[in-house]
């Protein structure tokens, strides 16, 4: 069993309002994507990594991130698709994992995932058939239709899903094939697996494992770096 990581980093980052795409914005003089890749490149349990990039940025990603910071486990940079789901599908096809390999999918702009959780994520995915990290919801959540509150779900049953999300390759491949066949668009990888009534476990992640998509997120990320990073 190998452990393979897919890093979707094909987003355009329109909400960031920056001159470069969000994955190349800097934290402590390194691109966000470089921080993210370090988590997995340095971990002994990870066998290889495939980065998914906008097609026009593949050469830039290779030169300015993968080669510049000498990420030895990156085996390929794959062209992304129109949406994240298409990008992950492209990465899964390019990685061509064996059925019993464990595939982790992790957002390229989540640079603060605690590496110490990787063994538990992999073991849980292998045992259960799927694993997501997340954090329990702290605020009250309202369901709203046309500007009116229609329900208040029980908060203790609600979690915010993060990445990585990990699955045996056979499960993830089956889920993506079914979604393509049915024209289904999910909000994350786990949603594609869940719709097949397959089990997915959730593990407590970290409040610092944020997805950097707005200028406010970048301010928070810089504060995290100043106070210990993913700790």
- Rounded Cα gap, residues 108 and 143, in angstroms: 30
In a domain, residue 109? The reply is: yes
Q: What angle, rounded to 10 degrees, do the helices at 84-95 and 169-182 form?
A: 130
In a domain, residue 231? The reply is: no
In a domain, residue 169? The reply is: yes
Domain that holds residue 100: 3-226
Give the pLDDT of residue 182: 97
In a domain, residue 112? The reply is: yes
Split into its structural domains, the chain has a count of 1
In a domain, residue 178? The reply is: yes
In a domain, residue 18? The reply is: yes
Answer left, alpha or beta for residue 192, where phi above 0 means left and psi between -120 and 50 means alpha: alpha
pTM of the predicted protein model: 0.94
Give the pLDDT of residue 226: 87
Token pair listed for 186 = 């999910």
Residue 189 belongs to domain with CATH number: 3.90.550.10
Tell me what the pLDDT averaged over the chain comes to: 94
In a domain, residue 132? The reply is: yes
**pLDDT for 16 beyond 90:** no
- Read off the pLDDT of each residue in 134-159 and give the average, rounded to a whole number: 95
**pLDDT for 190 beyond 90:** yes
Cross-strand partners of 131 = 166, 201
The dihedral over CA atoms of 120, 155, 106, 115, expressed in degrees to the nearest 10, equals -40
**Contact yes or no for 121/203 (Cβ under 8 A):** yes
- Rounded Cα gap, residues 224 and 183, in angstroms: 39
């Amino acid at each position: 069993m190998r452990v393979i990581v897919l890093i979707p980093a094909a987003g355009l980052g329109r909400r960031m309002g920056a001159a470069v795409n969000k994955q190349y914005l800097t934290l402590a003089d390194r691109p966000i994507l470089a921080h993210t890749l370090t988590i997995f490149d340095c971990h002994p349990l990870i066998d290889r990594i495939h980065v998914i990039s906008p097609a026009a940025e593949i050469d830039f990603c290779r030169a300015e991130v993968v080669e510049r910071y000498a990420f030895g486990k990156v085996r390929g940079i794959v062209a992304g698709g129109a949406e994240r789901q298409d990008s992950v599908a492209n990465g899964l096809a390019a990685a061509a994992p064996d059925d019993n390999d464990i595939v982790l999918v992790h957002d390229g702009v989540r640079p603060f995932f605690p590496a110490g959780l990787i063994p538990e994520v992999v073991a849980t995915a292998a045992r259960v058939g799927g694993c997501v990290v997340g954090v329990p919801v702290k605020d009250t959540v309202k369901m709203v239709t046309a500007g009116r509150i229609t329900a208040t779900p029980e908060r203790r049953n609600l979690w915010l899903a993060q990445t990585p999300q990990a699955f045996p390759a056979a499960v993830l491949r089956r889920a993506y094939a079914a979604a393509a066949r049915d024209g289904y668009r999910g909000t994350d990888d786990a949603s594609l697996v869940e719709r097949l009534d397959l089990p997915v476990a959730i593990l407590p992640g970290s409040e610092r494992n944020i997805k950097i998509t707005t200028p406010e997120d970048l301010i928070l990320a810089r504060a995290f770096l100043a106070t210990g990073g993913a700790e």
